[in-house]
Amino acid sequence: MTKAEITELKNGNNGELGKYLNPVNDTKTLYFTLDKLGRLPENFDGKYFIPLCKHPIEKIRLLAVKNIGKLCDEKYLTQLEDISISDESTMVRREAISSIGRMRSKNAIPILIKSLKDSDPKIVLQAIRGLLVFNENNLVAAELKKLINHPNEVIKNVIEKEYFDQPNSEYNGDHCKSPDYLKNVVVNGDVLEVLKIVPTESIHLTFTSPPYYNARDYSIYQSYDEYLEFLRDVFREVHRITKEGRFFILNTSPIIIPRVSRQHSSKRYPIPFDIHPFLIEMGWEFIDDIVWVKPEFSAKDRNSSFRQHRKPLAYKPTAVTEYLMVYRKKTHKLIDWNIRQYDYKTVQESKVFGEIDQINTWNIDPTFDKTHTAVFPMELCLRVLKYYSFKNDLVFDPFGCSYKDFQFINYN
């Protein structure tokens, strides 16, 4: 049977279509028929779906429940409630709750409220979605507000946004603009002291690579904890000066501290992973990780000894990657809100044309400099800027690693 034939049958003789929905039919026939039904006419008899809700194959049960939901008929409330409680599949149970919510019926409220106590967060979230239609109902609002203490972070975030949302800042300025005196400026000074004079919410994008922990002559710290504390202080200030919902791109990687002597081992510090909890705590939202892959010849060989003796446990791969950890200043506003702050002309001029990076690995050759041992490749800067900023945005680097490149690519 074709999709066209199914369409003809569903708009005509339900009984004829019922033959194809008989539970004794093979799985392929049932799946194809259920999947191709599309929108159902108002007079469609859903009785053919009920037996299929107990079919042994999960995907058949799921489609049967989904088609019942299309009918938006309250007479199926009891069956759907039973399925939402008893089915062994989370997907089927969730679809049952979705079908109940789709009815937008006040008679569904008690069932949806009961589902808020389900142990599966996906069921709870679907019930919340169904209840938010009635969020002006005092009972519904009271039950939903209780979930602010739910152990699941996604559920808490939804409730916080709906009922306890507070302005992220008191900043009332133009989202697209920044103070002119901050544009095209290089400041030589203590970063923590300099940041104190930068106005709140004045930066659109920060792209930086922090100084290495005791891996370069210019960055000596008493301890690794002291180093992390320093970065925490800097990035807390970066959070303050970043505009609502804008991005912070942190380029870093695990580093190796050479061994003191042959009687001691070298030490490898997972900097990006140790910094991450601090960033989340201070109000950054993790968005993505991008892996910068460099050619093998550009990295220090760690395998010379292992190639000689080949003994297990001593293997240490040569590190040819660095991370670009992508964070966004936490807000309940969607990315669309940030985009809408710009005029049509700016959005059009900022569009990303040509080839785009569809995966999270970027193969870019490193840059070497006689006076600076850790320079951003211009290509790396260009990719970050085109993906995470608009034309005339203010871009910031608290550690000054990338201004040599910025001056050539016409960014503020």
| Pairwise CA distance, residues 389 & 400, whole Å | 18
63 vs 42, more confident: 63
Summary mean pLDDT of the chain: 89
pLDDT for the residue 218 = 39
Q: Is residue 254, in this structure, part of any structural domain at all?
A: yes
Same domain, 217 and 128: no
Q: Is residue 263, in this structure, part of any structural domain at all?
A: yes
Q: Say if residues 341 and 204 touch (Cβ distance below 8 Å).
A: no
State the pLDDT confidence band at 4, using cuts at 50, 70 and 90: confident
pLDDT of 137-166, one tens digit each?
Answer: 999 999 999 999 999 999 999 999 999 987
The residue among 163, 195, 211 that closes a domain is 163
State the pLDDT confidence band at 169, using cuts at 50, 70 and 90: low
**Total residue length of the chain:** 412
Residue 402 has pLDDT above 80, yes or no: no
Same domain, 127 and 214: no
Same domain, 351 and 202: yes
Same domain, 110 and 206: no
Same domain, 195 and 142: no
Q: Rounded to whole angstroms, what are the CA distances from 73 to 63, 294, 343? A: 17, 59, 45
Per-residue pLDDT, averaged over 377-405, amounts to 85
Same domain, 249 and 341: yes
Provide the token pair at 315. 């293997």
Per the DSSP assignment, residues forming a β-bridge with 131 are: none
Q: Is residue 168, in this structure, part of any structural domain at all?
A: no
Residue labelled with tokens 């979605």: 129
Q: Is residue 260, in this structure, part of any structural domain at all?
A: yes
Q: What is the pTM of this model?
A: 0.80
Per-residue pLDDT, averaged over 317-322, amounts to 88
Same domain, 115 and 198: no
- For 120-269, where are the E strands, in sequence order? 203-208, 242-252, 255-257, 267-269
Q: Rounded to whole angstroms, what are the CA distances from 362 to 314, 334, 359, 397? A: 29, 26, 8, 21
Same domain, 138 and 261: no
pLDDT for the residue 306 = 78
State the pLDDT confidence band at 111, using cuts at 50, 70 and 90: very high
Same domain, 288 and 187: yes
Q: Is residue 173, in this structure, part of any structural domain at all?
A: no
208 vs 221, more confident: 208
Q: Say if residues 239 and 198 touch (Cβ distance below 8 Å).
A: no
State the pLDDT confidence band at 398, using cuts at 50, 70 and 90: very high
Residue 64 has pLDDT above 70, yes or no: yes
Range of the domain at 264: 180-406
pLDDT of 247-306, one tens digit each?
Answer: 999 999 988 776 666 767 778 889 999 999 999 999 999 999 999 999 877 777 777 787
Q: Is residue 380, in this structure, part of any structural domain at all?
A: yes
| Pairwise CA distance, residues 397 & 235, whole Å | 11
H or E stretch at 292: strand 284-293
The residue among 136, 163, 190 that closes a domain is 163
Q: Is residue 175, in this structure, part of any structural domain at all?
A: no
What is the domain count for the chain? Answer: 2
Same domain, 25 and 128: yes
Residue labelled with tokens 């369409």: 7
pLDDT of 336-383, one tens digit each?
Answer: 999 999 999 999 999 999 999 999 999 998 876 655 555 678 899 999
CATH value at residue 135: 1.25.10.10
Same domain, 122 and 192: no
Same domain, 61 and 149: yes
Q: Is residue 169, in this structure, part of any structural domain at all?
A: no
pLDDT for the residue 372 = 53
In this predicted structure, which of 24-28, 122-126, 242-246 has the lowest mean pLDDT? 24-28
CATH value at residue 270: 3.40.50.150
